[in-house]
Amino acid sequence: MPYLARPNIRYHISYLSALLEYKEEGLDAGPSAFMLQDPLVFTRYTADICAGADISFSKDAAHPPYVMWWWVEGSKYLGRISLRLSLTPYLTSYGGHVGYDVRKSERERGMASAMLAAVLPLARSMGYENLLLVCEKQNAVSRRVIEKNSGMFLDSSYDEEGKEHLRFQINLMPA
């Protein structure tokens, strides 16, 4: 059974191969597999991700602190999900609290739905009563992931290019 884990050297080999999959589809996943092949560099990289939750680490107001988990099974990396600890005006319109992706070879197996479901009680335990989730209108799969996790449609926002983004709220408080 896959589960959430903090980024760690244990997933090094698998993460490198996932980076190639991300690259193949043009998805920005940060430093390249080439840059991260050295275990020491990779260890530093995972430490930096874990430090992302530290407010002093996040000096840029446009990029608030976040907690990132990797969705893994054994030593295999499957995907990642991050919880942004605060919202900027940009994130309020276009990003929301949560970002996620699943490596291409693991899609359509319920990974994103399960990964989001696993993060919700953690967010609740961190004090959040509800979360804002946003996806592009064209991203029907992401919309489905949000709706499967009880996302309630709020409204649409439109970016500078006129692209429509759908905003949802997930209530974390028991009824």
Ligand X SMILES: CC(C)(COP(=O)(O)OP(=O)(O)OC[C@H]1O[C@@H](n2cnc3c(N)ncnc32)[C@H](O)[C@@H]1OP(=O)(O)O)[C@@H](O)C(=O)NCCC(=O)NCCS
Question: Which stretches of the chain bind ligand X, using CB under 6 A?
Answer: 27, 100-102, 107-113, 135, 139, 141-142, 144-145, 148
Compute the distance between CA of residue 81 and CA of residue 70 in angstroms, rounded to an integer. Answer: 6
3-class state of residue 114 by DSSP: helix
Q: What's the per-residue H, E or C state across 78-94? A: EEEEEEECCCCHHHHHH
Residue in 67, 174, 58, 65 with CA at minimum distance from that of residue 119: 67
Cβ-based nearer residue to ligand X, 112 or 132: 112
Contact 119, 83 (CB under 8 A): yes
CB of 139 to ligand X, least distance (A): 5
CB of 124 to ligand X, least distance (A): 21
CB of 16 to ligand X, least distance (A): 18
Cβ-based nearer residue to ligand X, 94 or 128: 94
Residue in 96, 163, 91 with CA at minimum distance from that of residue 133: 96
CB of 127 to ligand X, least distance (A): 23
Cβ-based nearer residue to ligand X, 139 or 171: 139
Cβ-based nearer residue to ligand X, 83 or 145: 145
